[in-house]
Structure 1
Amino acid sequence: MMTHNLKIYNTLSRKKEDFEPINPPFVGMYVCGPTVYGDAHLGHARPAITFDTVNRYLTHLGYRVRYVRNITDVGHLQGDADEGEDKIAKKAKLEQLEPMEVAQQYTDTYHRDMEALNTWKPSIEPRATGHIPEQIALVEDILKEGLAYEVNGSVYFDVLKYNETYEYGKLSGRVLEELISGSRDLDGQGEKRNAVDFALWKNASPEHLMKWESPWGTGFPGWHLECTAMSSKYLGKQFDIHGGGMDLMFPHHECEIAQGNACNHQDPAKYWMHNNMITINGQKMGKSLGNFITLQELFTGDHKLLEQAYSPMTIRYFILTAHYRSTLDFSNDALKAAQKGYKKIINGLRITKKLEFAADEKVSLDAEQIKQVQSSINNAYRAMEDDFNTAQAIGHIFNLLKKINSIYTGQLNVNVFGKDVFDQMIQTYVVFVEKILGLKEEVANNQQGLLDVLLKLYSESKTARNYDKVDEIRNGLKDLGIVVKDMKDKIDWAYEE
């Protein structure tokens, strides 16, 4: 592998920066996880796959990553605001369940879908409700610093007071004066000193379902506070990477920065990474907009916008074919193209694992072929080093696949590469596909055994010139998306692309 020179686009500085961990070889990464009041959709899949790939690549480089991704199971109110009903409590009332039943149900389905997408489990997955004492302690610290105030059992962060020392809006580029001006006419300021202030702790009404005792009375934590409490508990006052969707940049991540500075007098994270949105016809996909497609609907094809079902690995590949900072627009055509690309990659993986180097002294090395392979390998790594550009990396992996396919079909003699370059090509392809991009074959072992039996029967029927049986097996497999490959010296199969 080429020398490590990883650059990450830091939202905070709005430029690519050399990645220099605070305490190498350890890397701390916190990613905002789901609010568990409904099934995961395509919009949830993007940050999960984005930061899974970051985790995978950093691990591949030799870093020891502590990846913390939270579960929000309280405090996230309707409209991402400080007023209104808790999203989980609202769902609980509708379904006549305990809020924790709702949270558990959708945490379980989220885990099921993340496993299907082949994402690694986070090192730690804390829940907001499991960290109420830490959140209360943070509120007390911010009050002591004089950057919060208590009103009627609620505690609010004083943004104007904070802005005298720090800069509120530096992550999102929002200008405080404009935020204040834009909020003057809005209703709901209520007990806040200023509409831009945000809740650290909210007083709970008697009918509120999720509440805890605190020094200010019975209440519940503010949404932004939860992430500050959990990230600092498990990663320290400052850690390397904070990730999440671009929609969380303001106000959620902006408020996390304010809370971190208020408590610890430093930004919580060194690098801020944000994945862009998935859109449908140019509009953001999300529960609040009602235009989302759940992952289970994608896997089964059971949605009015879907022309067919798309497998979990097709979805993963689809997300990886765009750079994480670019928008990714949903369409059936795009998903069908992803399905085809994924099958090509996996057909290549099957072939790659079968190829062996066979020394033949009669064939001399081909400098041009060697140069092309080494260039593709270096460029694949350069793409990942350039802010995790999976889209470009996949292009270079396809260039390697062309060579691999040519060797497999006999168009290229393996010996033109020499053993070292051949081994490097094979290893790079397998490592990128399985370890870095996280793609895997979706045929189960028992299906693989059945395929082997059918191909044996196919071969015997061909030898016996029983062509009706040959056609029957070939057509039956084709209906299942499997193509029989008749080659000079063997019979093989591939996924139909």
Structure 2
Amino acid sequence: MPLYQTNPIKIYNSITGKKEIFKPINEGHIGMYVCGPTVYSNVHLGNVRTFMSFDMVFRYLKHLGYKVRYVRNITDAGHLENDEDAGEDKVAKKARLEQIEPMEVVQRYTVDFHNILNTFNFLPPSIEPTATGHIIEQIELINKIIENGFAYEVNGSVYFDVHKFNEAHEYGKLSKRKLEDLIHNTRALDGQSDKKNPQDFALWKKAEPQHIMRWPSPWSDGFPGWHLECTAMSTKYLGEQFDIHGGGMDLKFPHHECEIAQNEAAKGISPVNYWMHANMLELNGSRMSKSTGNTVNPSELLSGENKFFSKAFTPGVIRFFNAQSSYRSVLDLTNDGLLASEKGFYRLMDGMSLLNSIKASDNSTIDIATWRQNCYDAMNDDFNSPILIANLFEAVKYINQIKEGKASITKDDLELFKSTMHAFVLDVLGLENTAESNSGSDKLAGAVDVLIKLRQEARANKDFALSDKIRDELAAVGIQLKDGKEGTTFTTN
């Protein structure tokens, strides 16, 4: 029996503003779409945080036995500057500035994106479509929206008629914005005179003579609007209605709001049952910004070559740091926070290594079944990874107690314990017990063993001052020596 049958999940649905019991459209199958990167620069660390959160969601759904089709797109055309309908395509602008072909820009930064995600041990999505690979589908979608009366063509460009749409539907239901308020707060922008109303957004833009990226269409040689691609690709691969749509909180308006409107205008139905939004990543309490210099990219964080952090951090530590906060919470990236996560990560990895050397007994003094269910309960509650990690640290305590002879575990419970730890630490959280962590643990163990032998010699020679000094000095750096019947062991805090 699949695990999902005994583990109902509650998901915080952004469109209703509450946690809801998740019920897939087709039992045992899940369609999930997550907005991917615009590949005109190196992937932003905030984007990595979002994709890392949904990688964990993907991993847990697969662990429960669901067959998941996970679609994450690549935006390689149509994303204009400042997310407005005016300005220059971000990819084309980069190509012009560097005097290279737009597809060279796309290739370079798509490769960077994949390399970074591979470094952080991401699972690849089931399908990774590109905007330029789905121009035909986007043109067909525009035709349908025009046919239904919710879009108009002006001078070769096509715009979505937000006011007309709002007469029959509700524009703003995801972001909880009223059209009247948007009208009141809108200022006139240059280059928008073709629109009936400032709130209307582009479905197709006529390319200016200097515009590099262009495709033929019934209206002009041009390019699709940014919002359109996700509507076209999500519904092509997941159906007119699918289960989960995810992305960063910054995409809720206008991008996701426009996706809903486009789908309802073309097909008359809302496309998504559960909207999930990952919150923002801050740096030292402030928003990341290139203009202020308050920013660091993933490679700088991994290499240590930056002005914010005292050292380099491994991908596993960064991934663990991310999982210590709910995906719906603002996460503040700080040096102290990463240093604390590093200690926690290696404590967990050491516990995993120690678990392999535990021997079974005739009886169990630890309730493994309850502990295991607590792990599932945490993830079933809107993927609550911080509570899961608290339960994993509880497991590390059990491991140390068993190793020290203060607790016992039967063979069957031990197998369940090992498989559950493996499932949640490695498969669900995606943490790798890297060679570096193993090497570091082995070297630490070797060094402490030398000190333990020196302490034993000091005690044999009745040099209790030296014996106590070794114990106290180790304790000061977080290494606790414990004397037992089978000799001296140590644990790290």
Per the TM superposition, whether the score is higher than 0.5 is yes
* SS at structure 2 position matched to 1:66: strand
Distance 1:382 1:137 in 2: 44
Q: Distance in 2 between matches of 1:177 and 1:223?
A: 24
Report the residue type matching 2:150 in the other structure: L
Rounded Cα–Cα distance in structure 1 between residues aligned with 2:115 and 2:336: 26
Match of 1:170 in 2: 173
Match of 2:114 in 1: 111
Distance 1:316 1:179, change over 3 A: same
The 1:403–1:454 alpha-carbon spacing in structure 2 relative to 1, beyond 3 Å, is: closer
Q: What is the aligned partner in structure 1 of residue 259 from structure 2?
A: 256
Shift in alpha-carbon separation, 1:246–1:288, aligned structure 2, 3 A: farther
1:191 aligns with one of 190, 194, 197: 194
**Structure 1 residues 84-93 or 313-322, which shifts more?**
84-93
Q: Is the 8 A contact 1:41 1:292 kept in 2?
A: no
Does the CA-based 8 Å contact 2:37-2:75 persist in structure 1? yes
| Cross-structure match for 1:138 | 141
1:383 and 2:383 aligned: no
1:430 to 422, 437, 445: 422
Give the one of 252, 267, 272 matched to 1:269.
272
1:421 paired with 2:413, answer yes
1:297 counterpart (285, 296, 300): 300
Cα drift, residue 202 of structure 1: 0.3
Aligned 1:321-470 pairs, distance under 5 A:
321-359=324-362, 365-366=364-365, 369-370=366-367, 373-412=368-407, 414=408, 417-443=409-435
The amino acid across from 1:410 in the alignment is G
Q: Which one of 229, 247, 250 corresponds to residue 244 of structure 1?
A: 247
Flag structure 1 segments of 5+ consecutive residues without an equivalent. Answer: 466-477
- How far apart, in 2, do the equivalents of 1:109 and 1:153 lie? 35
| Partner Cα distance (2:322, 2:395) in 1 | 21
Tell me the CA shift for residue 411 of structure 1. Answer: 3.1
- Which residue number corresponds to residue 123 of structure 1? 126
Q: Distance in 2 between matches of 1:434 and 1:18?
A: 26
Offset at 1:447?
5.8
Aligned to 1:164, the other structure's residue is in SS state helix
Superimposed CA distance per residue, residues 414-447 of structure 1 (whole angstroms, 9 cap, x where no aligned partner): 2xx4333333222221211011111011216996
Asked whether the equivalents of residues 44 and 297 of structure 2 are also in contact (C-alpha less than 8 Å), the reply is yes
Preserved CA contact (<8 Å) 1:35 1:71 = yes
Find the aligned partners of 2:133 and 2:350 in 1 and give their Cα distance. Answer: 45
| In structure 1, C-alpha distance between the alignment counterparts of 2:490 and 2:145, rounded to whole Å | 64
What is the DSSP-based 3-state SS (H/G/I as helix, E as strand, rest coil) of the residue aligned with 1:163? helix
Deviation at 1:410, TM superposition (A): 3.0
Change in 2 beyond 3 A, CA 1:126/1:259: same
TM-score (norm 1): 0.87
Distance 1:383 1:288 in 2: 39
Q: Distance in 2 between matches of 1:365 and 1:104?
A: 56
Aligned twin of 2:322: 319
Deviation at 1:379, TM superposition (A): 1.7
The C-alpha deviation readout for 1:24-48, integer Å capped at 9, x for no partner, is 2110000001111111232011111
1:87 CA drift (Å): 1.1
Candidates 60, 63, 66, aligned match of 1:63: 66
Return the match for 1:11 from 9, 14, 18: 14
**1:98 is aligned to 2:98:** no
Between the aligned partners of 1:318 and 1:407, the Cα distance in structure 2 is: 28
AA of the residue aligned to 1:381 = Y
Q: 1:132–1:221: 8 Å Cα contact kept in structure 2?
A: yes
CA contact (8 A) 1:73 1:128 kept: yes
Q: Structure 1: how far apart are the matches of 2:74 and 2:394? A: 40
Aligned counterparts of 1:33 and 1:255: Cα–Cα separation in 2? 16
Inter-CA distance 490–91: structure 2 relative to 1 (3 Å threshold)? farther
Deviation at 1:139, TM superposition (A): 0.7
| Cα 1:234–1:282 shift into 2, 3 Å | same
Q: Does the CA contact (< 8 Å) of 2:320 and 2:431 recur in 1? A: yes
Contact 2:182 2:199 in 1 (8 A): yes
| Deviation digits for residues 136-167 of structure 1 (CA, Å, limit 9, x no counterpart) | 11111111111000011100000000001110
Aligned to 1:181: 184
Choose 241-250 or 335-344, whichever is displaced more.
335-344
Once residues 338 and 239 of structure 1 are traced to their aligned partners in structure 2, the CA distance between those partners, rounded to angstroms, is 36
Give the conservation status (yes or no) of the 8 Å contact 1:352–1:430: no
Query: Residue type of the partner of 1:338?
Result: S
Distance change >3 Å, CA 20–CA 9, structure 1 → 2? same
Tell me, in whole angstroms, the C-alpha distance in 1 between the residues paired with 2:323 and 2:27. 27
Question: Take 2:299 and 2:369, find their aligned partners in 1: how far apart are those partners?
Answer: 40
Q: Which moved more, 1:287-296 or 1:44-53?
A: 287-296
Give the whole-Å Cα distance in 2 for the aligned partners of 1:53 and 1:130: 28
Q: 1:357 to 1:342 in 2, by over 3 A?
A: same
Structure 2 counterpart SS, 1:305? coil
**One-letter identity of the residue aligned with 2:31:** G
Assess if the C-alpha contact under 8 Å between 2:361 and 2:410 holds in 1. no
Instruction: Report Cα offsets for 1:52-78 as digits up to 9, x if no partner.
Output: 111111111110000000011111111
Measure, in 2, the Cα distance between the counterparts of 1:377 and 1:143.
Answer: 54
Counterpart Cα distance in 2 of 1:203 and 1:264: 25
What CA distance in whole angstroms lies between the structure 2 residues aligned with 1:113 and 1:487?
A: 45
Change beyond 3 A, Cα 1:493–1:305:
same
Could you tell me which amino acid in structure 2 is paired with residue 57 of structure 1?
A: Y
Residues 15 and 274 in structure 2, CA contact (< 8 A), matched pair in contact too: yes
Kindly provide the amino acid, as one letter, of the partner of residue 173 in structure 2.
Answer: K
The one-letter code matched in structure 2 to 1:250 is F
Cα distance, 1:352 vs. partner? Answer: 1.7
- Quote the offset at 1:290 in angstroms: 5.2
The answer to whether the Cα contact below 8 Å between 1:484 and 1:491 also exists between their aligned partners in 2 is no
Distance 1:276 1:218 in 2: 38
Distance 1:271 1:325 in 2: 14
Q: Is there any run of 5+ residues in structure 2 with no aligned partner, and where?
A: 458-473
Offset from partner CA, 1:367-398 (integer Å, 9 cap, x none): xx32xx44332222111001000011110111
CA distances 1:247-304 after superposition (whole Å, capped 9, x unpaired): 0000000000001101111111110000000112433325576532111000001111
